[in-house]
């Protein structure tokens, strides 16, 4: 089976004042259709940088990113358009996904309009898209992101991300800023959408219980490197690396 996303030897160094940090150090992995891949590891180990490179929010120093068989390592401008048709991202702080001056109605349908749909047609999709994430149009109608709760806003961010039916959804700590009940609801929503649209998900998290609930495979990162990769069961029940054992112990 061909991977939907393949990352080969990805490397990124940042210069900070007089020193520099190797945020992502020669990492390679593959994501297959229908996978939910967890990326775990302590703060600063390079998780967000990895997905920021994959989604082309940052330029790589070296390595390759292959999306659906196409090399997108240096994709810019118009070719980024087709990248974002296939790959969408949901961030830690739901409000970050929205322009505070843009009404949520318009924000959700923006990707559809960018994709060539008329505004009228796109608007017709709103009730359906909101229904997918368990919200009613009356809740968001003519509102701005700051008028919603974090959990509601994250649902709207997910509705926006899946509006154009991407193949891959990347969630960077998408539930970390929420209370436990809202976290559980978002996880259940992601599971439902994954099945419904055969989405492949990359889930970045500190939370191993989240990984247990939703991921079928896990990558453990430490200081920019992948130190262990396996099925979720193997990682949680039979960790090979000392660092993974520590990570599991520290979360029980
Ligand atoms: N734009 C930047 N400029 C300079 N250094 C950066 C930049 N972005 C990230 N870094 C550094 O790269 C390293 C990896 O950061 P990254 O944000 O990828 O970690 P993370 O695993 O996502 O951490 P967290 O769990 O806290 O979100 C850190 O040392 C960080 O300080
Ligand atoms: Mg991060």
The pLDDT of residue 35 = 95
Domains of the chain: 5-249 (3.40.50.300)
Distance separating alpha carbons of residues 152 and 133, to the nearest angstrom: 9
The pLDDT of residue 176 = 86
| Neighbouring-strand partners of residue 36 | 201
Give distance in angstroms: CA of 247 to centre of ligand 1: 19
The pLDDT of residue 78 = 86
Whether 108 contacts 126, CB under 8 Å: yes
Torsion from C-alpha of 38, 88, 191, 137, nearest 10 degrees: 150
Judged on CB neighbours under 10 Å (0-12, 13-18, 19+), 125 is: middle
- Pairing assessment for the beta strands 200-204 and 87-90 based on DSSP bridges: unpaired
The pLDDT of residue 179 = 85
Produce one character per residue of 3-19: b if its CB has 16 or more CB atoms within 10 Å, e if not. Answer: bbbbbeebbbeeeeeee
Give distance in angstroms: CA of 140 to centre of ligand 2: 28
Q: Which of 48, 202, 247, 250 to mutate to test the pocket of ligand 1 (most atoms within 8 A of CB)?
A: 48
* Helix (H) or strand (E) run with residue 27 in it: strand 19-31
Distance separating alpha carbons of residues 101 and 180, to the nearest angstrom: 29
State whether the beta carbon of 23 lies less than 6 angstroms from ligand 1: yes
- pLDDT tens digits for the chain (252 residues)? 899 999 999 999 999 888 999 999 999 999 999 999 999 999 999 999 999 999 999 999 999 999 999 999 999 988 898 999 999 999 988 888 899 999 999 999 999 999 899 999 999 999 999 999 999 999 999 999 999 998 999 999 999 999 999 999 999 998 888 888 888 889 999 999 999 999 999 999 988 889 999 999 999 999 999 999 999 999 999 999 999 999 888 876
Instruction: Give 166-218 as a DSSP string.
Output: -SEEEEESTTTTS-HHHHHHHHHHHHHHHHHHT-EEEEE-S-HHHHHHH-SEE
Whether 149 contacts 94, CB under 8 Å: no
Q: Give the position, in ligand 1's atom list, of the atom nearest the Cα of 42.
A: 25
The pLDDT of residue 252 = 61
Distance separating alpha carbons of residues 61 and 84, to the nearest angstrom: 21
State whether the beta carbon of 12 lies less than 6 angstroms from ligand 1: no
State whether the beta carbon of 49 lies less than 6 angstroms from ligand 1: yes
Judged on CB neighbours under 10 Å (0-12, 13-18, 19+), 128 is: exposed
């Amino acid at each position: 089976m061909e991977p939907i996303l393949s990352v080969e030897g990805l490397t990124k160094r940042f210069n900070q004042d007089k020193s520099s940090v190797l945020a992502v150090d020669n990492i390679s992995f593959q994501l297959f259709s229908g996978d939910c891949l967890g990326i775990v590891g302590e703060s600063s180990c390079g998780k967000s940088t990895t997905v920021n490179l994959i989604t082309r929010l940052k330029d790589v120093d070296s390595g390759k990113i292959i999306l659906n068989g196409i090399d997108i390592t240096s994709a810019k401008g118009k070719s980024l358009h087709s990248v974002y048709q296939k790959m969408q991202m949901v961030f830690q702080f739901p409000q970050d996904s929205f322009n505070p001056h843009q009404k949520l109605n318009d924000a959700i349908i923006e990707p559809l309009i960018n994709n060539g749909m008329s505004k009228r047609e796109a608007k017709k999709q709103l009730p359906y898209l909101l229904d997918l994430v368990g919200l009613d149009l009356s809740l968001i109608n003519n509102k701005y992101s700051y008028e919603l709760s974090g959990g509601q806003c994250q649902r709207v961010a997910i509705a926006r991300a899946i509006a154009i039916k991407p193949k891959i959804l990347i969630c960077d700590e998408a539930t970390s800023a929420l209370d436990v009940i809202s976290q559980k609801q978002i996880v259940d929503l992601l599971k439902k959408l994954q099945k419904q649209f055969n989405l492949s998900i990359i889930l970045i998290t500190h939370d191993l219980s989240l990984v247990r609930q939703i991921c079928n495979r896990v990558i453990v990162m430490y200081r920019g490197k992948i130190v262990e990769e396996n099925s979720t069961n193997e990682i949680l029940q039979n960790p090979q690396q000392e660092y993974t054992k520590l990570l599991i112990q520290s979360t029980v």
